[in-house]
Structure 1
């Protein structure tokens, strides 16, 4: 599965507005943001870069005023980590990824006739929706910013990225809060090489523990399978979220390594 995940990462970064390829690496630059979580590189599966390739990679980031940063599945390109370390790159994190297939997907119980009797404050009684208006996309972006505790600010560029995801063959799903805004949501990139990545699953603190994350994750996976994907994968941030994903059919398959070079 590591090669599939890495091949997807390459294909997905090539979709970025200003993608760059150099020395066996693909860098997904997005001029709409300086976020290192969006502007990063990944190696092609089986890449064997040398010191000059890494220097060219670093220069591509530096000339744009960005931190050199990579995310990749090390098993799919085992020669990459040693040469990065020789150039001074260090580990930011190692994340396990989970994979779901059509055979393992378990859809959570959806509301039926009894939902009408449930209190309006119980957002789990609401259906998963697809945003369609600017206001709904903005509400999803704002909710995710709140869910991730200011890791990134809600912005017009973030709203535009969500809309591009939905309109470019991926999917954005959310659950509406009683005030008509977004209680929680997530997005999934358009499939490539038979797989797709769910990212940014987040629920506003006031609405956690009500099944929102599992509902939107399962809905996204089902949407991708209907579009022909053979698998969907994601990374989790803690044991609590891992259990949420495992309940809807995601299982551990490998790890991804995050590395960066400080100034």
Structure 2
């Protein structure tokens, strides 16, 4: 499964407004934000980077005044982690893959379902961006650029959904990248 996840990560980053490919890495950047959760790199499956490759990757971040950061499935590129550690990188977090098959889907019984809405206006997208900013402790402020980023996800085959709050804003939202 790691190679499938890694192949998706590569395809997803290649959709970013600014793309840098160097030494077996793909880095995707969005000039509208400094968020490390949007501006990051990933290795190609099976990549075997040299020390020079890692230096070139770091430089791609440095010239944009961004923190070098990667997200990847280690089992899809086992030579990457040692090369990054040799350059001073540390592990920020390790996440497990969560998989739900149609046979395993368990829908809670008796819970009142809230209507999930597809955003359609600039105000909807901004309300979702405001809510996402709040959910992440305001680390990255909501902005017109953030709202435009959400709209691009929806318009390019991904999904953006939200639950409308009683005041017309957003009570909660989610995004899903386009399949790759």
User: What does residue 142 of structure 1 align with?
Assistant: 130
Where does structure 1 differ by over 6 angstroms across 4 or more consecutive aligned residues?
none
1:103-149 CA-partner distances (Å, limit 9, x unpaired): 433445698xxxxxxxxxxxx55311100011111111111111222
Distance 2:15 2:144 in 1: 19
Q: For structure 2, list consecutive stretches of 5 or more residues without a partner in the other structure.
A: none
Distance 2:139 2:109 in 1: 31
1:26 is aligned to 2:26 = yes
Distance 1:44 1:27 in 2: 10
Distance 1:125 1:48 in 2: 48
Secondary structure of the residue aligned to 1:21 is strand
User: What does residue 220 of structure 1 align with?
Assistant: none
1:152 is aligned to 2:144 = no
Distance 1:61 1:16 in 2: 14
Alpha carbons of structure 1 residues 108 and 144: separation in structure 2 relative to 1, 3 Å: farther
User: What does residue 75 of structure 2 align with?
Assistant: 75
Contact (CA 8 Å) 1:27, 1:40: kept in 2 or not? yes
In the TM superposition, residue 100 of structure 1 has moved relative to its aligned partner by 2.5
User: What does residue 52 of structure 2 align with?
Assistant: 52
User: What does residue 3 of structure 1 align with?
Assistant: 3
Q: For structure 1, list consecutive stretches of 5 or more residues without a partner in the other structure.
A: 112-123, 193-263
When normalised by structure 2's length, the TM-score is 0.94
Distance 2:110 2:68 in 1: 44
User: What does residue 256 of structure 1 align with?
Assistant: none
User: How many residues are treated as equivalent by the alignment?
Assistant: 180
Secondary structure of the residue aligned to 1:183 is strand
When normalised by structure 1's length, the TM-score is 0.65
